Amino acid sequence: MIIVKSPDDIEKMSKACKLSAQVLQYAGEQLNAGMSTYELDKLIYDYIIAHGAKPSFLNYGGFKGSACISLNDEVIHGIPSKKKIIRSGDIVSIDVGAFIDGYHGDNAYTYAVGQVSPSAEKLLRVTKECLSLGIAAARPGNRIGDIGNAVQTHAEQNGFSVVREFIGHGIGKDLHEDPEVPNYGAKGRGPRLMPGMTIAIEPMINEGTCSVKVLPDGWTVKTKDGLLSAHFENTIAITQDGPVILTTV
């Protein structure tokens, strides 16, 4: 069931979303070669707690981290670890949410550490563009399929592929609500978009094959061919006037 929010609900939810965006930006500033993903996660945890909120992901389904931190060929759900050291030339996806005043925010960004390959640079640029195009399609009267179609078309036109097994979602009092928001699909298909819907759009775009595998740790998702994957996400509200990004600093 899709939970439609009132302008008042969205106003309240903006606080969680703004903090989610702030901690994501902070994490990007702290990110450095030589640091473990555990250290980065600890900074993220401390930041969220210091702002009176709770990390949305911590203990969600048993997840042991405040953020999902995924390196290079890891698509999503990387578990912060002392053994995982960030190196120059890596791309690092940080996915983080904050819960405060009864609402969640959720967003992700893939950062380049030092100098990355031209192909990695292109992947980051195109995935970010996919997110923007997906958001632009999230207008009242359009359907969920219009979002996925916008993302998929742009990714594939640039020679990349779209992960199918993991998708965006509605968000509000729960981290994951209806509807499902795939990053692929047909125009004009799926649930109709209405003012008051709040959704997280999160393209996961691969350099090579779209096939992925889940590691034995039960969380970490990697590309099957070992090539790079990028992930960008915003939480947005659909309004009468169009989409509004809530996860903004």
Looking at residues 116 to 135 of the shown chain, list those that interact with Mg ion (rule: CB under 5 A): none
Residue located via tokens 């509000």 = 172
What lies within 8 Å, CB to CB, of 247 at 6+ separation is 17, 18, 20, 21, 24, 105, 106, 107, 233, 234, 235, 236
Instruction: Report the 10 Å Cβ neighbour count for 7.
Output: 11
Select from 98-106, 142-150, 219-227, 236-244 the region that touches Mg ion (CB under 5 A). 98-106
The least distance separating Mg ion from the CB of residue 65, rounded to whole angstroms, comes to: 14
Nearer Cβ to Mg ion (116/147) = 147
Nearer Cβ to Mg ion (86/200) = 200
- Pick from 13, 163, 193, 200 the residue near Mg ion by CB under 5 A: 200
Select from 75-83, 124-132, 197-205, 238-246 the region that touches Mg ion (CB under 5 A). 197-205
Select from 124-132, 199-207, 223-231, 238-246 the region that touches Mg ion (CB under 5 A). 199-207
Please, are residues 233 and 104 in contact by the beta-carbon 8 Å criterion? Answer: no
Please, are residues 198 and 13 in contact by the beta-carbon 8 Å criterion? Answer: yes
Give the HSE-up count for residue 149: Cα atoms under 13 Å, Cβ half-sphere.
13
- Pick from 9, 74, 90, 106 the residue near Mg ion by CB under 5 A: 106
What is the contact surface with Mg ion in residues (CB under 5 A)? 106, 200, 202
